[in-house]
Amino acid sequence: MLKDTILNLLNEQVNLEYYSSNLYLQMSSWFSYHGLDGCAQFMSEHAMEEREHMTRLFNYITETGGYVKLGQIPAPKTEWESHAEIFEDTLEHECLITSKINNLAKAAFDQADFSTFNFLQWYVGEQHEEEQLFRSILDKVKLLGDDKKGLYFIDKEVGALAKGEAPAAEPQ
């Protein structure tokens, strides 16, 4: 049985993962509207991944005898000035998620809830990967700036990531 403190934090995380899914789906729509289909597909895939994260938490709570409480999910931001701003916002959001996961893991450890602590280790590793991924994309976006050819390159690279393909080789 989960302690109330841990259950409340897990429920907050469920709702935050749901918000993340909505945010990334909104970003996908922005990219699609602006003709960046590779980035749109990438963010759509990430939206589905966030729903999977939410479902994993949902199932853990129910499997441990807890009760999931879905709360009101705020509407995500809908307007961005550029593709760079979206990737900046995404990295910032992933850093927020990391801090929430770390706080949750610390709370589980401090309350000797080692089952939950162990369960959360997957999220800890996942967040490391997410931050690294978006930092890498943002570094390339900043490197290429607002150049239209660079934007085309970024869209193709990010689209390849969405398909699970290796990024294109650098010209020699």
Domains of the chain: 4-162 (1.20.1260.10)
Tell me the torsion sign for CA atoms 126, 119, 102, 78: positive
For 25, the token pair is 């789906």
**The pLDDT of residue 97 is above 50:** yes
Contact 107, 9 (CB under 8 A): yes
Query: How high does pLDDT run on average in the chain?
Result: 93
| Single-letter residue type at 69 | K
The single residue listed with the structure tokens 């009101």 is 72
* Burial class of residue 35, CB neighbours in 10 A (0-12, 13-18, 19+): exposed
For residue 81, what is the DSSP state? Answer: S
pTM for the whole thing? 0.91
Confidence of residue 171 (pLDDT cuts 50, 70, 90): very low
Q: For residue range 44-53, what is the model confidence (pLDDT) as tens digits?
A: 999 999 999 9
Q: For residue range 8-61, what is the model confidence (pLDDT) as tens digits?
A: 999 999 999 999 999 999 999 999 999 999 999 999 999 999 999 999 999 999
Q: What is the pLDDT of residue 167?
A: 57
CA distance 31 to 43: 9
Q: Span 70-96, mean pLDDT?
A: 96
